[in-house]
A = this chain, B = another copy of it.
C-alpha cells in the first residue's frame, strides 16, 4: 500500500459530499462509498479500504457506533468528517477509537494531509512480506537470510544485491539495472564486480553453486531470481 492505489472508503449519506470527496480525492486514491452505517460495516469487509472517512450523522446508526463496532476487530485508520463542532462530539468519537476528527467545512489540502498522515502511520506498522523460494527465505524486515532454516550471513553488497532480486522476484534484471541499484549510476559498466558478487552469493545460498537453482543467469541479458 505504500505507493499508489491507496483505498479510501467514504461514508456519508449526502450524495453531494460523496461526489465532492470523490472529485477531490479520486486522482490520488481509489474511492469506495457507503451511505449508511450498515453499508459501511459491510464495505470494510468487501472493499478492504486502507482508511475510512466517516460522517457522524448517518441515517441508521451514529458514526460513533460505527467506529466502536469497527474497533472491535480492525485498526484501520478512521477519520471523522462531521459538521458537529461540539467538543463532546469530538471527544466521544476519538475515545470510541477514531484516529482524527475534521470539522466541515474543511480544506481539501488539510484533509489530504491528514489522510497521508494516517496512512503513513499504518503503513509503517506494516511489514514487507517474507520472500520464500524453495529452501531460501529472505526476510527484508529483519534483514535475515536463511537456507534450509540455517541463517546465512551476507556482506552489505551481497545483501543489497539479493534484496534487489527479491524486490523484483521472477523478473529478469539486466547487468545495468543491478549495477545501478547496488553500486550506483557510476558503475554501470563494471560487470566484473557484479559477476564476483553473484558468484559469492551463489556459494552462500545455492545448494550446488555450479548448478544455480535460485539465481539464474540469463545469457546476454542479466540474472533472475527464480520463484519456486
Chain A residues proximal to chain B, CB less than 8 Å? 75, 87-88, 90-91, 94-95, 97-100, 107, 109-110, 112-114, 116-117, 120-121, 124-125, 141-143, 155-156, 159, 170-172, 218-221, 224
Contact call B99/A113, Cβ cutoff below 8 A: no
Top 8 A-B pairs, shortest CB-CB distance: A156-B220, A94-B113, A91-B113, A87-B107, A143-B172, A94-B117, A87-B109, A90-B110
Identical chains bound together, number: 2
Cβ of A159: which chain B residues have Cβ within 8 Å of it?
A: 221
Closest residue on chain B to residue A159 by CB atoms: B221
From A75, A91, A109, A141, name the one whose CB has the most chain B CB atoms within 10 angstroms. Answer: A91
When distances are taken between beta carbons in the complex, the residues of chain B under 8 Å from A124 are 75
Q: Which of B97, B110, B155, B221 contacts A156 (CB 8 A)?
A: B221
With A143-B172, A171-B143, A172-B142 as contacts: A113 and B100 at CB distance below 8 Å: no
Q: Can you name the residue of chain B whose Cβ is closest to the Cβ of A169?
A: B142
Q: Given the known A-B contacts A107-B87, A219-B156, are A114 and B94 also in contact in the complex, defined by CB atoms under 8 Å?
A: yes
* Contact (A221, B143) CB under 8 Å given A113-B95, A117-B99: yes
Q: Report how far A219 CA is from B172 CA in the complex, Å.
A: 29
Contacts of A87 in B (CB 8 A): 107, 109-110
Is the CB–CB distance between A113 and B90 below 8 Å?
Answer: yes
Output the least CB separation between A173 and chain B (Å). Answer: 10
| A112 proximity list for chain B (CB < 8 A) | 91
Q: Which residue of B lies closest to A219 (CB)?
A: B155
The answer to whether B171 and A141 touch across the interface, beta carbons within 8 angstroms, is: yes
Report the separation of the CA atoms of residues A155 and B220 in the bound assembly, to the nearest whole angstrom: 7
Is B121 a contact partner of A99 (Cβ separation < 8 A)?
Answer: yes
Closest partner residue, chain B, to A143 (CB atom): B172
Q: How many angstroms between the C-alpha atoms of A170 and B143 in the bound complex?
A: 9
The CA of A171 and the CA of B142, in the complex, are separated in Å by 5
Q: In the docked arrangement, what's the CA distance between A156 and B100, Å?
A: 37
Q: Which residue from B91, B97, B109, B218 sits with its C-beta under 8 Å from A91?
A: B109
With most chain B CB atoms within 10 A of its CB, the pick from A107, A110, A125 is A110
Closest-by-CB residue of B relative to A87 is: B107
